[in-house]
Amino acid sequence: MISGVQGVLRLLASTRFSGDNSLKKALIAILVVVVAVGGGLAWFVNRIPGSVFDGQPAQETFSSDLVQRGEYVARQADCVACHSLPNGKPFAGGLEMGTPLGSIFATNITPDKQTGIGNYTLADFDRAVRQGVTPDGRRLYPAMPYPSYAKMNDDDVKALYAFFINGVEPATKENKVSGITWPLNMRWPLALWNTVFTEGGTYVQKSAEDPVWNRGAYLVQGAGHCGSCHTPRAVTMNEKALDESSPLYLSGALLDGWYAPSLRQDHNTGLGRWTEDDIFQFLKNGRNQHAVVFGSMSEAYNNSLAFMTDEDLRAIGKYLKSLPGDPVRDGPPWKYPTNAGSATLSDRRAAPGAQTFEAKCSFCHGSDGKGRNEWIPPLAGAASSLSSENASQINVTLNGSARVVTDGIPDSYRMPSFREQLSDREIADVLTYARSAWGNHGGPIKAEDIRALRDHTGPVSSNPIVLQMR
């Protein structure tokens, strides 16, 4: 802005004007507009937005009931997942998150007064959580899901603050500087990004729906921030939809080496074949007859969903079951072929990858691809076998999955890592076989697809990470 003003001033100083001074007046008018617009823009991007908690007296001690409620809200929001490391103290930050611009690191949100949020007021905390602005005016990257948290109500935000101030152990740990270089690391443009791509305002009850549906919508859209992973993003990195008013909301998205499937009633790639009770069982136990949590969903289950009440999980199920699918996007409905068992053993072994499947996969997933009830997931009709996005199947085959922890007890089954046992070609062949057998139509996988993820991922620890908050 300053350089633009200086340029106009230089032009004014070097120009000879005619008697009517019309050019001079025009340039002065342009200068006034530039100064006004530039000053307004500078004010807008550097201002500290207001909070409903502004002016409230500082409070450092909260009731045990409010702290306990805040802990439950923290579980809903899965704050542990991003702000903790496996061998570190809860909420001390440090987790590296890759973005198209470079790596950023989750911050220390313990009540430590030097390196954490111990000096935050309730209003400061609210601005950070629901508006993505720190007390010094620094804008947070939307890896912090404040576009979703904006829908959380005031009571939940206050309870969350009480928990972080009174229920979390302080940890002195300096925050890491992001790996994003100048000029892309400038934060002020995020003020404009927020204006265009966030909605603001807490969740508003839909009068046409019952309380259970509304509770599910509130949890999914707000603290649960399910859209952060399951909704596709534009080139500007915003979620293409923030609620059920758009058919793109929760329609599936590729993120950080995993494909988060549709949570809508898509027959092939979503929850179209699941009942409300199926959804509830998956959220409560981490598994059902259709699928088992894996990848980043394992962390979400082990540290968030596993701690939520049955009432809230059923509310989520009711809300998700109400979201219509898109048959055009989803394709012809999958059916298990009636003649699947008629092929001879020699015919089945002739397909590339078939022998590898029989040797490495069939004991658990079955030669018929139907799995072992709710303990080992089926590959026949699985969303990952029907989606054109293949990242999840590649990633879990290369790196394995974490154990599912229910009621504090890790299960006995997990997907092992095959990165040392099978070559890129062998993994591509066996996955192509699984994606084309039993009526599946996910499409073939190439060896270079395997190599790309092999180079940028690593094996999942066999030890489940379940962090105790206090």
pLDDT tens-digit profile of 262-292? 999 999 999 999 999 999 999 999 999 999 9
Between residues 205 and 21, the one the model is more confident about: 205
Between residues 5 and 115, the one the model is more confident about: 115
CB atoms within 10 A of CB 289: 16
pLDDT tens-digit profile of 334-361? 999 987 655 555 666 678 899 999 999 9
User: What is the dotted CATH code of the domain comprising 211-456?
Assistant: 1.10.760.10
Q: In the chain, pLDDT over 70 holds for what percent of residues?
A: 90
Confidence at residue 30, expressed as pLDDT on a 0 to 100 scale: 79
Hey, what are 51's tokens? 């909070």
Alpha-carbon gap, residue 441 to 386, rounded angstroms: 5
Residue 376 carries which DSSP code?
A: B
Question: What average pLDDT does this structure show over 71-90?
Answer: 92
The one-letter code for the residue type at 339 is N
Confidence at residue 125, expressed as pLDDT on a 0 to 100 scale: 98
Hey, what are 381's tokens? 């009709």
Confidence at residue 340, expressed as pLDDT on a 0 to 100 scale: 65
pLDDT tens-digit profile of 383-432? 999 999 999 999 999 999 988 888 888 888 889 999 999 999 999 999 99
Confidence at residue 422, expressed as pLDDT on a 0 to 100 scale: 97
- pLDDT over threshold 60, residue 18: no
Please classify residue 18 by burial: count the beta carbons closer than 10 Å to its beta carbon, then call 0-12 exposed, 13-18 middle and 19+ buried: exposed
Alpha-carbon gap, residue 432 to 175, rounded angstroms: 43
Question: What average pLDDT does this structure show over 306-315?
Answer: 97
Name the average pLDDT for the chain: 90
User: Distances from the Cα of 173 to the Cαs of 112, 163, 287, 354, in angstroms?
Assistant: 9, 19, 36, 51
Let me know: does 265 contact 325? Beta carbons within 8 Å.
yes
Let me know: does 375 contact 437? Beta carbons within 8 Å.
no
Q: Sort strands 102-105 and 96-99 into parallel, antiparallel or unpaired.
A: antiparallel
Confidence at residue 32, expressed as pLDDT on a 0 to 100 scale: 74
Confidence at residue 382, expressed as pLDDT on a 0 to 100 scale: 97
Q: Sign of torsion, CA 275 277 278 280?
A: positive
Let me know: does 49 contact 137? Beta carbons within 8 Å.
no
Between residues 345 and 111, the one the model is more confident about: 111
Query: Dihedral (C-alpha) 166, 145, 330, 304: value to the nearest 10 degrees?
Result: -10
User: Distances from the Cα of 386 to the Cαs of 332, 357, 444, in angstroms?
Assistant: 10, 18, 11
Confidence at residue 343, expressed as pLDDT on a 0 to 100 scale: 55
Single pTM value for the model: 0.89
pLDDT tens-digit profile of 147-166? 999 999 999 999 999 999 99
- pLDDT over threshold 70, residue 462: no
What is the Rg, in whole angstroms, of the alpha carbon atoms belonging to the chain? 26
Residue from 122, 130, 205, 204 nearest 164 by CA: 122
Confidence at residue 41, expressed as pLDDT on a 0 to 100 scale: 65
Same fold, 64-186 and 211-456: yes
CATH topology of domain 64-186: Cytochrome Bc1 Complex; Chain D, domain 2 (1.10.760)
Alpha-carbon gap, residue 90 to 170, rounded angstroms: 9
Hey, what are 229's tokens? 């992973």
Question: What average pLDDT does this structure show over 31-58?
Answer: 79
Phi/psi of residue 145, nearest 5 degrees: -75, 50
pLDDT tens-digit profile of 364-386? 999 999 998 888 999 999 999 99
The band of 15, judged by pLDDT with boundaries at 50, 70 and 90, is low
Confidence at residue 86, expressed as pLDDT on a 0 to 100 scale: 82
CB atoms within 10 A of CB 346: 7
- pLDDT over threshold 60, residue 5: no
Question: What average pLDDT does this structure show over 126-135?
Answer: 96
Q: Sort strands 253-255 and 258-260 into parallel, antiparallel or unpaired.
A: antiparallel
The band of 3, judged by pLDDT with boundaries at 50, 70 and 90, is low
- Each domain of the chain, given as residue ranges in start order, spans 2-46, 64-186, 211-456
